[in-house]
Amino acid sequence: MSTRNTFNTLTIDTFACAWCGLTVSATAADGTRRNHCPSCLHSRHVTDHVEGGPSDCHGRMSPIAIAVLRTGDWMVIHRCVRCDELTSNPICADDNQLVLMRMAVRPLAQPPFPLEAFGGL
C-alpha cells in the first residue's frame, strides 16, 4: 500500500527479506498486503499474539508447511526461529510456485513412518 508523506511525494512500503535479502513490496501483485517474501516465503516476526510474550520478537519466520482451507485457499504456515510461535498467512498470486509445491508434497515425499509398512496391506 502506498502512502503520502507531508511533502506530497509517493512512498512505497517495502521490506528486505530476512532470509534471501530480496527487497519486497508490501503490496502483492493482486493488491493485497503481503508479509512474506514471494521468492523464498520467509517472513519477519513483528507481532507476538501470545499473552505475556515479547511484544516484537523480530525473529525470522521460516515457512514450514502449507494448509488448505475448506474454501480451497492455501495458507503458508510459518514458525518463528526465535520463539517457536506458529502463524498462518494466505499465499499471494506472485509467490514462488515451485517452493509452494515442494512444501505441499513434503509430507508425501518424507513420511514420518516407513513406507514398507504398506507392503503387507
C-alpha cell at 100: 509452494
Tens digits of per-residue pLDDT, 30-52?
A: 788 888 889 899 988 876 555 55
User: Do residues 77 and 91 make contact, with C-beta atoms less than 8 angstroms apart?
Assistant: no
Question: How distant, in Å, are the alpha carbons of 82, 85, 109 from that of 33?
Answer: 24, 21, 32
Average pLDDT, the chain: 81
> How far is residue 36 from each of residues 52, 69, 105, 108, 119, measured CA to CA in Å?
25, 19, 21, 25, 41
42: which residues sit within 8 A by CB, 6+ positions away? 17, 18, 19, 20, 36, 60, 61, 62, 63, 78
Q: What is the pLDDT of residue 1?
A: 45
